[in-house]
Structure 1
Amino acid sequence: MSPQPDESQRIDSFEEFWPHYVRAHSSKGSRRLHFIGTSAAMALVAGGVLTRRLWPVLLAPVVGYGCAWIGHFFVEGNVPATFGHPLWSLKGDLVMWKKILDGTMDAEVERHRTAAEPGESPEANVAADPTVN
């Protein structure tokens, strides 16, 4: 079972995408790999800009996505959301990075895991979270 939206489910906003993104990152190991990859990618971009060198900037997505995809394919056992929603996935990575940094991502995963129980809409919990908008 994949936490990705199925073909019949149209997603029109990041707020609708976020619950799917969170459930696709339910493993703490996968979230750690994402955090490492996103941090390294940001450091490479910053280093490239500061030194006026192009190669660190070009290497940033390889490192960032490489770590994330290892998390998806080998830890979570699912397909990265990048393939279907690349911009929302990038925003999701950054929101998740911040939530890991401030210590709120574990609670976010649990909130969406609980909201995904039968009969309840996971999207209903998104409006209460100002960091998603």
Structure 2
Amino acid sequence: MTTNTSSGPAPRDAKAFRSFAEFYPFYLSEHSNRSCRRLHFVGTTLVLLCLAALIATGNPWWLLAGLLCGYGFAWVGHFGFEKNKPASFKRPLYSFMGDWVMYKDIWTGKVKI
């Protein structure tokens, strides 16, 4: 996994970060459990499939299905395996961004699943 390269320990309070670049190492530390990362990956992949179905069909229920898949899989990972609260409760935008960056980093091999 990617490590924090800044000097000193990273703040543990999700609200303390001044930028996404500071937040992302914390985000990764909150996803240290392999099962949690795998569930995030599956949920995010399902979100993309639901968005494709939304575009293909025009049926707005796919948007709800995408939200349920994305958050459902992530929350099972956090509460069931990681044993922590999702950072989205305190930093929703940074957490949303972090999920997509981690998804890319999994595809590129920077983060292992």
TM-score by length of 2: 0.84
One-letter amino acid of the counterpart of residue 5, structure 1: R
Structure 1 residue ranges without an equivalent (≥5): 107-133
Question: Does structure 1 residue 5 correspond to structure 2 residue 31?
Answer: no
Aligned partner of residue 85 in structure 2, secondary structure: coil
User: After TM superposition, where is structure 1 displaced by more than 2 Å over at least 4 residues in a row?
Assistant: 3-7
User: Where does 1:120-131 land on structure 2 (aligned, <5 Å)?
Assistant: none
Q: CA RMSD in A?
A: 1.7
Between the aligned residues of both structures, percent identity stands at: 42
Deviation, 1:4, is 7.6
Deviation, 1:52, is 0.9
User: What is residue 64 of structure 1 aligned with on the other side?
Assistant: 70
User: What is residue 78 of structure 1 aligned with on the other side?
Assistant: 84
One-letter amino acid of the counterpart of residue 6, structure 1: D
TM-score by length of 1: 0.72
Counterpart Cα distance in 1 of 2:79 and 2:101: 21
User: What is residue 35 of structure 1 aligned with on the other side?
Assistant: 41
Question: Does structure 1 residue 50 correspond to structure 2 residue 56?
Answer: yes
Deviation, 1:6, is 2.5
